């Protein structure tokens, strides 16, 4: 059994350098070799299009197909090939996600900034978007929902769902119920290249959404720099930080940490608390619950990255949490809602012992596509507005232009913009 007692740290006896090390993420092997390999894949797709995609599908997924697109007939037939139990669960998740995200739709904004001067925001959907749904050992149906629902609510006209082959009937069923009929059986870096650059048969998109492995992540970063296609957010391995008090349930905490640890070998889980006995009890529970999990190889590996940190006060826990900027933050503390004021950086917050992280992954209605690897200090969870763009509109009456003309002249001439000033003078003379 894995010994994680060596991962216990007492914050106030650590040096500054040791504290930085304790809060460091697992090293991701996005080394020069991976960057070069992804660059070659993107370049090959750019030069050889479909031929390169067929070659990579065979090399990486052992999959051969005539067309990268799934037929509408096969998508429609998926409803006959999934269980009622699955359909019922998807129905509840879809309803909750749709309910929360539909409230995010913004109305046009108009402000009279000066008498006769009007500034307006109008919202328009991004015309074409690519939704990347990773596969792993099982189809990630929850990610398909989390990406597709806000894209539909935003009003995106051309939605391409892309996933490594062979695509499961469960993923196709989600595409069917959300009326997404452009489904690409492509995965990995070459699929991102196809979405960004286009090929003979694959149409390029304006923005790519969705998580993936290191190759997908690297490909998203590279195409965002070499094409007109943008991406949703930088991504890294999944992570969770738990803050616990003396009354917290160690079994609940352990189960949350284990559920997060099974995402990938590079996942990281952190426990912050004020008493040593809490850490000891949680570690005992982890060891106990591990015995009940059949496939624990990923968990055992990622637990090597775990941290159990004892500090002096709950307020200090929040300072450390803000420094770390976790993707998932769970508050296993009494009256947890009262502590929201101390949170500055987090992807998604889970309040109290009855709100497990797993619920947020699937069914609460909040989006589970979140900033990782410290990006929660500047990025937000995925939302409807990510699938939209804001266009500003301005209008002036002639009286307003006359009133502001001298100020415009002063500022434009100060910047040496004589033609700017002339555009005002021409109108004033006309008046």
Assess whether 175 and 154 both reside in one domain: yes
Give the up-direction half-sphere exposure of residue 83: CA atoms within 13 A in the CB hemisphere. 3
Secondary structure element (H or E) that encloses residue 90, with its range = helix 84-102
Task: Provide the 3-class DSSP secondary structure of residue 75.
Answer: helix
Is the pLDDT assigned to residue 181 strictly greater than 60?
Answer: yes
* Nearby residues of 99 by Cβ (< 8 Å), 6 or more positions away: 365
Q: Where are the beta strands (DSSP E) in 266-379?
A: 268-273, 307-310, 328-332, 348-351
**Would you please indicate which residues are annotated as catalytic (active-site) residues?**
327-328
Secondary structure element (H or E) that encloses residue 123, with its range = strand 117-125
Count other Cβ atoms within 10 Å, centred on residue 146. 28
Assess whether 330 and 285 both reside in one domain: yes
Cα 139 to chain centroid, rounded? 17
Q: Which domain holds residue 418?
A: 397-430
Assess whether 227 and 243 both reside in one domain: no
The pLDDT value recorded for residue 27 is 74
In a domain, residue 381? The reply is no
Q: Report residue 375 as tokens.
A: 């990006």
Q: What does the DSSP assignment read for 370-428? A: ---TTGGGT-----GGGGEEEEEEEEE-HHHHHHHHHHHHHHHHHTT-HHHHHHHHHHH
Residue 154 sits in a domain whose CATH number is: 3.40.50.1980
Secondary structure element (H or E) that encloses residue 192, with its range = helix 188-197
Single out the residue in 312, 343, 365 at which a domain terminates.
Answer: 365
Assess whether 260 and 334 both reside in one domain: yes
The pLDDT value recorded for residue 431 is 86
121-133 residue pLDDT tens = 999 999 999 999 9
The CA–CA distances, whole Å, from 267 to 189, 203, 238, 298, 358 equal 21, 34, 5, 9, 15
Assess whether 271 and 223 both reside in one domain: no
Classify burial at 263, counting beta carbons within 10 Å of its beta carbon; exposed 0-12, middle 13-18, buried 19 or more. buried
Q: Report residue 3 as tokens.
A: 């010994």
What is the spatial distance between Cα 171 and Cα 101, in angstroms, rounded to a whole number?
Answer: 21
394-415 residue pLDDT tens = 999 999 999 999 999 999 999 9
Single out the residue in 177, 207, 235 at which a domain terminates.
Answer: 235
Assess whether 302 and 349 both reside in one domain: yes
Assess whether 19 and 64 both reside in one domain: no
Strands 117-125 and 388-396: antiparallel
Assess whether 180 and 310 both reside in one domain: no
In a domain, residue 387? The reply is no
For the chain, what is the mean pLDDT?
96
Assess whether 227 and 240 both reside in one domain: no
Q: Answer yes or no: are the C-beta atoms of 141 and 420 closer than 8 Å.
A: no
Task: Of 173, 198, 191, give the one whose Cα is nearest residue 63.
Answer: 191
In a domain, residue 384? The reply is no
224-269 residue pLDDT tens = 999 999 999 988 889 999 999 999 999 999 999 999 999 999 999 9
In a domain, residue 333? The reply is yes
Q: Answer yes or no: are the C-beta atoms of 16 and 315 closer than 8 Å.
A: no
190-231 residue pLDDT tens = 999 999 999 999 999 999 999 998 899 999 999 999 999 999
- Name beta bridge partners: 9: 309
Is this structure's pTM higher than 0.85? yes
Assess whether 21 and 50 both reside in one domain: no
Query: What percent of the chain clears pLDDT 90, i.e. is strictly above it?
Result: 92
In a domain, residue 392? The reply is no
Residue 420 in marked binding region? yes
In a domain, residue 82? The reply is yes
In a domain, residue 370? The reply is no
Confidence of residue 295 (pLDDT cuts 50, 70, 90): confident
Is the pLDDT assigned to residue 332 strictly greater than 90?
Answer: yes
In a domain, residue 138? The reply is yes
Is the pLDDT assigned to residue 1 strictly greater than 60?
Answer: no
Single out the residue in 189, 217, 235 at which a domain terminates.
Answer: 235
Residue 108 in marked binding region? no
Assess whether 174 and 197 both reside in one domain: yes
Residue 185 in marked binding region? no
Q: Report residue 280 as tokens.
A: 């000891």
Residue 388 in marked binding region? no
Task: Provide the 3-class DSSP secondary structure of residue 207.
Answer: strand
Tally of domains in the chain: 3
Residue 263 in marked binding region? yes
Residue 256 in marked binding region? no
29-38 residue pLDDT tens = 557 889 999 9
The pLDDT value recorded for residue 28 is 65
Assess whether 86 and 44 both reside in one domain: yes
Task: Provide the 3-class DSSP secondary structure of residue 214.
Answer: helix
Q: Answer yes or no: are the C-beta atoms of 204 and 222 closer than 8 Å.
A: no
- CA atoms 230, 150, 129, 64: torsion sign: positive
């Amino acid at each position: 059994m894995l010994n994680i007692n060596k991962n216990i740290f007492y914050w106030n006896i650590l040096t500054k350098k040791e504290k930085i090390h304790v809060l460091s993420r697992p090293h991701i092997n996005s080394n020069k070799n991976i960057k070069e390999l992804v660059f070659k894949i993107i370049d090959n797709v750019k030069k050889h299009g479909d031929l390169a995609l067929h070659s990579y599908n065979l090399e990486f997924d052992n999959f051969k197909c005539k067309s990268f697109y799934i037929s509408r007939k096969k998508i429609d037939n998926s409803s006959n090939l999934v269980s009622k139990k699955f359909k019922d669960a998807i129905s509840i998740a879809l309803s909750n996600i749709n309910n929360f995200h539909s409230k995010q739709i913004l109305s046009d904004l108009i402000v009279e900034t000066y008498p006769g001067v009007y500034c307006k925001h109008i919202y328009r959907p991004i015309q074409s978007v690519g939704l990347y749904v990773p596969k792993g050992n099982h189809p990630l149906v929850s990610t398909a929902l989390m990406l597709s629902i806000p894209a539909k609510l935003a009003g995106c006209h051309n939605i391409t769902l892309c996933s490594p082959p062979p695509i499961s009937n469960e993923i196709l069923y989600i595409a069917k119920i959300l009326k997404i009929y452009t489904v690409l059986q492509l995965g990995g870096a070459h699929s991102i290249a196809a979405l960004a650059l286009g090929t003979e048969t694959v149409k390029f998109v304006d923005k790519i959404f969705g998580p993936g492995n290191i190759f997908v992540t690297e490909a998203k970063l590279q195409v965002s720099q070499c094409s007109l296609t943008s991406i949703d957010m930088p991504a890294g391995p999944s992570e969770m930080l738990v803050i616990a008090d003396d009354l917290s349930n160690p079994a609940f905490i352990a189960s949350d940490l284990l559920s997060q640890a099974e995402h990938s070998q590079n996942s990281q889980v952190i426990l912050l608390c004020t008493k040593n006995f809490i850490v000891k009890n949680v570690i005992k529970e982890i060891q106990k619950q591990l015995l009940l999990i059949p496939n624990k190889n990923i968990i055992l590996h990622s637990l090597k990255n775990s941290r159990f940190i004892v500090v002096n006060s709950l307020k200090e826990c929040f300072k450390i949490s803000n420094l770390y900027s976790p993707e998932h933050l769970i508050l296993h503390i009494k009256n947890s809602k009262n502590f929201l004021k101390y949170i500055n950086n987090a992807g998604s917050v889970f309040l109290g012992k009855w709100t497990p992280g797993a619920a947020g992954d699937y069914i609460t209605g909040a989006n589970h596509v979140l900033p990782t690897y410290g990006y929660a200090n500047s990025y937000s969870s995925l939302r409807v507005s990510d699938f939209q763009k804001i266009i500003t509109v301005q209008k002036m009456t002639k009286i307003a232009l006359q009133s502001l003309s001298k100020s415009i002249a002063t500022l434009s001439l100060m910047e040496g913009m004589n033609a700017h000033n002339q555009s005002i003078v021409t109108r004033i003379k006309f008046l």
